[in-house]
Amino acid sequence: MKNITLKHLHHRDKKCLGLYFAHDRELIQLCKNLRCLWSQTNKCWYIANNPHNLKEIYRIFKGKAFINAEQIFNKKEGKEAEPVQTKKENKQITKPALPSLLNEEVKSKILKFKYWMRQRRYSDNTIKTYIDALHIFFRFFSKTPIHKISNDDLIKFNNQYILKNNFSASYQGQIINAIKLFYSTVQQKELNTDKIERPKRARKLPNVLSKEEVKAILKTPLNIKHKAMLSLIYACGLRSGELLNLKPEHVDSKRNILIIKQAKGRKDRIVPISKKIIEMLRQYYSACRPVKYLFEGQVKGEPYTAKSLQMVLKNAVRAAKIKKPVSLHWLRHSYATHLLENGTDLRFIQEMLGHNSSRTTEIYTHVSTRYIQQIISPFDYL
């Protein structure tokens, strides 16, 4: 695995974190995504030294590089990039203490599992998530031979790692799924993952913006590319990854549809696209002339990055003077809810969102105000 050394750096009268590593295009691109800057004097990439940026470094390079933070934490060993948590009360960085290395047998079997998932055409995100989960699990049991890990060890891992570090229920589920699949395929041994108590999933309502709030956000970007990206996400209910994977030929202006290829679950689907959006896309295309992807970054032929897209939304929300912690997925939720409020059949909304089950789509009935606003409170009769 690639190595990055973190060092304290005093640059231009500011406290910074210096990232030192051998020249590598992938790591350089990740630094740019993190909005690090290059210091010719110190021959390193650097970013402001604060808990948020330190957490982002571990998140961005998770699974990509081994982070040697010896000088940062005054420890004798480094640490593979993994999630860290920030305590608001004292601004201290806390992270689970795990051995940094795996033995060759475990590495070999994890690699075999990775090849198996690729053969079965699992998505890149799923493969990365499962491999990262297995690295954490087997590092926790670094002194136990892989074939001797038992059901009781699963309970131990759940209590002493997942629950102790207060990781989320979804993260717990990811690790359980990864362990179960690994042992049933590569190790050919059945572990009773039911022994790890899965927490009762909280019922959370999707975050939805009003039509006025959406309008305020979409009209703030002055850059035609930024305006087109945010508008298309809302107008077609896209996930951010679906937007970034679009190509010019996926816009069928004659039929007024947008073709979404190999979305979540490796499914294709089509959604209607308004003539107003098509006209906006024509203006954008004329101005930017993308080569391969509909929305490209500074390098022609390379897709716009997810990090930059998030910054576009963040700037638009700030300019619209909206105080809510709006995310890109809020626009997708708002699209579905506004369709429902306009009288669109739930079955059509399910198809346009690409949901497997209607139960997933039905969640929007709980946030739609179409019928709730017609209910008169008994207080009004007093």
Tell me the whole-structure pTM to 2 decimals: 0.60
* pLDDT at residue number 92: 40
Q: How much is the pLDDT for 375?
A: 66
pLDDT at 72: 74
- Residues 47/34, Cβ–Cβ less than 8 Å: yes
Taking only the tens place, the pLDDT of each residue in 217-236 is 999 999 999 999 999 999 99
* Cβ 320 vs Cβ 216: under 8 Å: yes
CATH annotation of 211-366: 1.10.443.10
Q: Is 70 exceeded by the pLDDT of residue 210?
A: yes
- Given a cut of 50, whether residue 377 has pLDDT beyond it is yes
Digit-coded pLDDT (tens) for 300-320: 888 998 889 999 999 999 999
- Integer Cα distance of 154 and 145 in angstroms: 14
Q: What average pLDDT does the chain have?
A: 82
55 and 62 Cβ atoms separated by less than 8 Å? no
**CA–CA distance, 246 with 292 (Å, rounded to integer):** 9
Q: How far apart are CA 249 and CA 294, in angstroms?
A: 8
Res. 275 pLDDT band, cuts 50 70 90: very high
Contact 98, 58 (CB under 8 A): no
Q: Is 268 left (phi over 0), alpha (psi -120 to 50) or beta?
A: beta
Q: Which amino acid is at 82?
A: E
* Both tokens assigned to 283: 């203006």
Helix (H, G, I), strand (E, B) or coil at 19: strand
Give the pLDDT score at 100: 58
Would the pLDDT of 251 be above 90? yes
pLDDT at 91 over 50: no
256 pLDDT above the threshold of 70: yes
Structure tokens at 257: 């549809």
Question: Given this chain, do its domains 104-195 and 211-366 carry the same CATH topology?
Answer: no
Q: Are 96 and 142 in contact (CB under 8 A)?
A: no
Average pLDDT over residues 79-96: 43
Is pLDDT of 187 > 50? Answer: yes
Pairing outcome for strands 85-86 and 93-94:
antiparallel
pLDDT score, position 290: 92
Which residues form the catalytic set? 239, 264, 329, 332, 355, 364
Evaluate if residue 246 carries a pLDDT over 50. Answer: yes
Does residue 109 carry a pLDDT above 80?
yes
pLDDT-derived band at 85, boundaries 50, 70, 90: very low
Question: Which is higher by pLDDT, 178 or 79?
Answer: 178
pLDDT tens-digit series, residues 4-28: 889 888 877 788 899 998 888 888 9
Q: Report the distance separating Cα 307 and Cα 30, nearest Å.
A: 10
Question: Domain ranges in the chain?
Answer: 2-85, 104-195, 211-366
**Residue 236 confidence (pLDDT):** 93
Q: What angle do CA 196, 115, 63 make, to 5 degrees?
A: 65
Mean pLDDT within 186-196: 63
The per-residue DSSP string of 44-98 comes to EEEEE-SHHHHHHHHHHTTTTEEEE-HHHHT-SS-EE----EE-TTT--EE----
CATH number corresponding to 104-195: 1.10.150.130
